[in-house]
Amino acid sequence: MDHLELARQLIPWASQTRSKSYKRFPDNYPWFIDGGKGCYVTSGGKQYLDFISALGPIILGYRDEYVDAYVMDQIKFNGNLFSLPHKLEAEVAEMLTKIIPCAEMVCFLKNGGDATMAAVRLARVYTEKRLVLNRGYHGWAVFDQLIPFENLNMLKNYPDWDYVAAVLVEPELFNGAELRDIKSLCEEYGALLIFDEVVSGFRIAMGGVQEFLGVKPDLACFSKAMANGYPISALVGRREIMERLEKDAFVSTTFGGDCIGLAACIGTIRKMKKENVISHLWEMGTYLKEELEWLINKYSFPMTLHGFPPMIHFKMPEDIHALFLQETIKRGIMIYNSHNLNFSHKRTAINSLLGVYDEIFPLIMKGEVHLEGNLVGNTQFLRQW
Ligand code: PMP
């Protein structure tokens, strides 16, 4: 039995991450990735220029030697998990408090969803209230516990503010003035402001949107890019609130202090600072955005862009998106619905992508390409996430 058949039979979605499942991609997509280096991945002997960056964690490039050396040294000379805490926990905590504006104390976890779940629990204990209003995605763990709002007006007119423990947002979905308004509302009603910086942290700026826009939340969650793909997350925030983790807010995990993630985090932070990675991401992203806007206009291609240059998201009608995925992968580009840039994307990589866009936009617009098979599953999957 081949691997896909095996995975389909044994693993729901044949993937641990829905956004990576074969159900999300057209028939001509590879099913698995065998390995990667820099901004390239390989599958079945074919090489692809990758703009997904493992959904955000790869911020320097796949198999970055500088970061991997930190991890390998840690494993070789010390080990990764022990019966008492390791000194690396204190070391990385100190580093984070220097980088993230709201971080006065730090709690390490493993996934983004662990951190948002811990933040929600802590906010509920601290405020003695239950409701959490949210905008954005925050992981499977808090998926069904939140009350979503679309915009600031809805938030201002929310009728049950007296029961609100926290407002949890992906801060990149708002501008600075809106974030300040949300903060004022939270202060007025005694709710906590939580930034989910799982995507924006170590990408928009090292310290996330709170650093970039100068709005400090009470608590914040970091994960994806902080260790170039090694598993780690952190809940950080104001001391007075975080101290409740020592009392009545219970958060505790076996792998929270695992030294693989911590060692990788030190390596990632050092290299990001040394090489000024954030400036590179902004420079490449700004170039990509300008050129892409020009191509969109040139071909009247129905693609809209949003988000900051280090991660430019795009939207297009679902059927066009399916064609887009089919045609980009045929030409060796792996991308889904955003350009997740990393340090190994230099100008040549961006130009290759733009060259492919220049080729496929007119073909799609003239109706010269057709979906070759059905999408496996159906096109609804493109809408779900
Ligand atoms: N918050 C945001 C903004 C995310 O994008 C994600 C994952 N895509 C999460 C939280 C959840 O992180 P994880 O999948 O690591 O639990």
Other Cβ atoms less than 10 A from the Cβ of 248: the count is 9
Tokens of 239: 């001391």
Between the CA of 139 and the centroid of ligand 1 the distance, in Å, is 5
pLDDT for 374 equals 55
Between the CA of 206 and the centroid of ligand 1 the distance, in Å, is 17
| Ligand 1: nearest atom to the Cα of 113 | 16
Condensed to tens digits (0 to 9), the pLDDT of residues 38-70 reads 999 999 999 999 999 999 999 999 999 999 999
Residue percentage of the chain with pLDDT more than 90 = 92
229: left (phi over 0), alpha (psi -120 to 50) or beta: left
pLDDT, mean of residues 158-166: 97
380: pLDDT strictly greater than 70: no
Assign 378 a pLDDT band (cuts: 50, 70, 90).
very low
Q: What are phi and psi of 10, to 5 degrees?
A: -105, -20
Is residue 168 lining ligand 1, measured as CB closer than 6 Å? no
Nearest CA to ligand 1 atom 7: 139
| Angle in degrees, 0-180, between the axes of helices 65-77 and 259-274, rounded to the nearest 10 | 150
Between the CA of 262 and the centroid of ligand 1 the distance, in Å, is 19
Is residue 113 lining ligand 1, measured as CB closer than 6 Å? yes
CATH for the stretch 3-62+276-365: 3.90.1150.10
User: Domain residue spans in the chain?
Assistant: 3-62+276-365, 65-275
CATH for the stretch 65-275: 3.40.640.10
pLDDT for 383 equals 38
pTM above 0.85, yes or no: yes
Condensed to tens digits (0 to 9), the pLDDT of residues 124-152 reads 999 999 999 999 999 999 989 999 999 99
| Ligand 1: nearest atom to the Cα of 224 | 15
